[in-house]
A and B are shown apart, each in its own frame.
Chain A
Amino acid sequence: MPDNSLLIKNGHVVDPSQDLDAVRDILIENGKIAAIGARADADVVIDAAGKHVFPGLVDARVFVGEPGGEHRETIASASNAAAKGGVTSFIMMPETDPVIDDVSLVDFVRRAARDDAQVRVYPAASVTKGLAGEELTEFGLLQEAGAVMLTEGRRSITNNLVLRRALTYARDFDLVISKETIDPALSSNGVMNEGVNATHMGLPGIPREAEIIVLERDLRLAALTGGNYHAAKISTSDSAEAIQKYKQLGHAVTCGISINHLTLNENDIGRYRTYLRLQPPLRHEDDRQAMIEALNSGVIDIIVSSHDPHDVDEKRHPFSEAADGAIGLETVFTAAMRLYHNDEVTLMRLIDALSTRPAKIFGLEAGSLKPGSNADLFIADLEMPWIVEEADIVSKSKNTPFEGERFSGKVLQTLVGGVTVYQENS
């Protein structure tokens, strides 16, 4: 049972939803924010002096192994990882086995989340049945059952007509279609960014155009249909330019980026480190810098962890035979703090992109510490140094691209609905 009232006092609160960046006390009652900035007494008091308090992060792109791949990650283990990383809400991708393309499966995720998860887990449903890219799923019924997003997971819908109809039909339900943008033929057997690095390593490359061409097609169809379109993970400067153009034209388009593409580049792959094999591939430093700029200007709306657990069976292989993807729930905040410490992005913009904006785009009750909001928040020490070590990872899979990395900034305590779901033991 949650205590009736809880006061987090003296913390430096950063809340983009109310443009707040100051030391404030936060009073929580019955799982909701009751007051902010007012003097109050409470049953329990947490002193956050010298620490920061943020609205809980909202991660709009999380792959989980349940159902069908529980050895990689369950809803419960992902939620533990999320709690540790300050993520209090996440949207779970439908690329499971079976695919979340039916009301009963959305219901399954909702029940598993209710019973096993410490954080709020929202299901996304697939755009087409079985992710086959042909027949549309029941958007309306799926939404009623609790799906908050439509997505085709890692796949691009290659049939233009199918995508056109999906965008058109989803508009009627005000559902957002979130898509990855990679041309399967152009990227074919590629495993890293095309260029001199790939050539030197003898690895087949993926050209930037594999992303840009699909994105530009998607944007044209979004404009044609008036549908709500979200490019899930962009990675090139040309992609940002295309998004900017369609935003300026007034279309309902948004886009995200994975924290990996903001903090790493292709050189970090080093000597064939498969944990840095990602989709889209890590790009050249020029593109990373362009992504920072696009995040600052608001062309890129949100940051995702793109948490994608793979066990050693899928990663301890030669680079070109390994699976794409890296875990990220536990490190997304701390990696973002690197951008803050390097003066690349402001704290306000980072929390906006990690919490307030994604909640808004996908219509989730999250991302704000205004009175009346869910008391989903976390307390962090922005200076605390730590090293990412495999032994400390709570996710079932250990494929972090940041293994051995030194970070400044750590989540100390995470609350969901006023209840502590994670506390750093120091």
Chain B
Amino acid sequence: MANEISSSLKVFNQRHLLGIADLSPHEIQYLLDKANDAVSVSRQQEKKKNVLRGRTQINLFFEASTRTQSSFELAGKRLGADVMNMSVGSSSVKKGETLIDTAMTLNAMQPDLLVVRHQSAGAVELLANKVGCSVINAGDGAHEHPTQALLDALTIQRSKGSIAGLIVTICGDILHSRVARSNIILLNALGARVRVVAPSTLLPAGIDRLGVEVFRDMKEGLKDADIVMMLRLQRERMSGALIPSVREYFRYFGLDAEKLNYAKSDALVMHPGPMNRGVEISSDVADGPQSVIETQVEMGVAVRMAVIEALIDNGGANA
């Protein structure tokens, strides 16, 4: 259905991808359909398309990330773009160059696409306002990580057929998670029922007003869930300020086989990676039959190919 719409009308009208909140349900579905096609490209022996030949993509990461950065790099390269990686440690920024200075410098190199990750919410949008090319948000503070939510949705859709009506339980550090925010918005837009499970110190104020049901008891939150989405607990949050200890956290909020039993028997187990085994997830579950964590990584490349192509198709580079 969405495909028919996308072929007859121009449904995707974005110049940048800064957040899921900026997208209509049709635009989300358009990207998912496009990504679904891209999966097959990655599964062929000849993985390279030439659609972005001669185009330049710069990955600008103010926060270190091996997975996301390499996923974007591979996506760009499979489309035929020239990809450059720039890791800007926050320390060099503190030496004086502001985010905007960095943006202007890169802009002068005439890229067609910037992929940006930054530790502060709103930073990628600030940068997008200053450059002449398309910008993809690869994660900004605790705000959004739109390609992660899209790849999660694609993983779910390919396994379950449709997202509408599914019960999706997101567990863990909701407070600091951009993955959670983007997923909450996307899953609501596509008609899922979203639950969050976390200790109250890791829940942001007013989360219940973002369209989720809030649970403190993981077993209750997992009951009849179709999807169990675990979040990474950052090491620095474990120091006793927000939760007292790793073992206490794992006891109440770590996903193990026993807790997973409360979800539906065919529930999918997801994690955006990198995992802390024994902290938020046990190894047997992470590697078990219900886990689609590796599929998520594969879908990540496909989703990023789709997003990059959609933005370049929109003439983002010259707009």
State the A residues within 8 Å of B (CB): 194-205, 207, 271-272, 313, 316-321
Cross-chain contact B204 with A201 (CB below 8 angstroms): no
Q: Count of B residues near A, CB < 8 Å?
A: 24
Chain A CB within 8 A of B181 CB:
yes
Cross-chain contact B205 with A203 (CB below 8 angstroms): no
Chain A CB within 8 A of B118 CB:
yes
- A47 nearest CB across to chain B (Å): 47
Q: Name 17 A/B residue pairs within 8 A (Cβ), A-sorted.
A: A195-B205, A196-B209, A198-B204, A198-B206, A200-B210, A201-B143, A202-B140, A203-B143, A205-B205, A271-B122, A272-B126, A313-B98, A316-B126, A317-B98, A317-B120, A318-B118, A320-B122
* 0/1 interface trace, chain B 69-109, chain A, CB 8 Å (1 if under): 00000000000000000000000000000111000000000
Residues of A close to B143: CB separation below 8 A: 201-203
Q: How far is the CA of A321 from the CA of B181 in the complex (A)?
A: 21
Complex partner residue of A203 from B99, B118, B121, B144, CB under 8 angstroms: B121
Complex partner residue of B121 from A195, A207, A316, A320, CB under 8 angstroms: A320
Q: How far is the CA of A271 from the CA of B178 in the complex (A)?
A: 16
- B16 nearest CB across to chain A (Å): 12
Residues of A close to B118: CB separation below 8 A: 318
Residues of A close to B181: CB separation below 8 A: 200, 202
Chain A CB within 8 A of B302 CB:
no
Closest A residue to B207 using CB positions: A199
Residues of B close to A319: CB separation below 8 A: 120-122
Q: How far is the CA of A272 from the CA of B120 in the complex (A)?
A: 11
Residues of A close to B206: CB separation below 8 A: 195-199
- The list of the 5 closest CB pairs from A to B, nearest first, reads A202-B143, A196-B206, A272-B122, A318-B120, A318-B123
Cross-chain contact B205 with A194 (CB below 8 angstroms): yes
Residues of A close to B140: CB separation below 8 A: 202, 318
Cross-chain contact B100 with A316 (CB below 8 angstroms): yes
Closest A residue to B124 using CB positions: A318
Cross-chain contact A272 with B205 (CB below 8 angstroms): no
Complex partner residue of A201 from B100, B122, B209, CB under 8 angstroms: B122
* 0/1 interface trace, chain B 252-294, chain A, CB 8 Å (1 if under): 0000000000000000000000000000000000000000000
Q: How far is the CA of A316 from the CA of B143 in the complex (A)?
A: 19
Q: How far is the CA of A300 from the CA of B179 in the complex (A)?
A: 43
Residues of B close to A313: CB separation below 8 A: 98
Residues of B close to A197: CB separation below 8 A: 206
Chain A CB within 8 A of B316 CB:
no
Q: How far is the CA of A199 from the CA of B141 in the complex (A)?
A: 12
Residues of B close to A200: CB separation below 8 A: 21, 181, 210
Complex partner residue of A199 from B98, B125, B144, B205, CB under 8 angstroms: B205
Q: How far is the CA of A191 from the CA of B23 in the complex (A)?
A: 26
Q: How far is the CA of A271 from the CA of B126 in the complex (A)?
A: 9
The residues in B between 189 and 218 inclusive whose CB is less than 8 angstroms from any CB of A are 204-207, 209-210
Question: Of residues A205, A313, A321, which shows the largest number of chain B Cβ atoms within 10 Å of its Cβ?
Answer: A321
Q: How far is the CA of A317 from the CA of B122 in the complex (A)?
A: 9
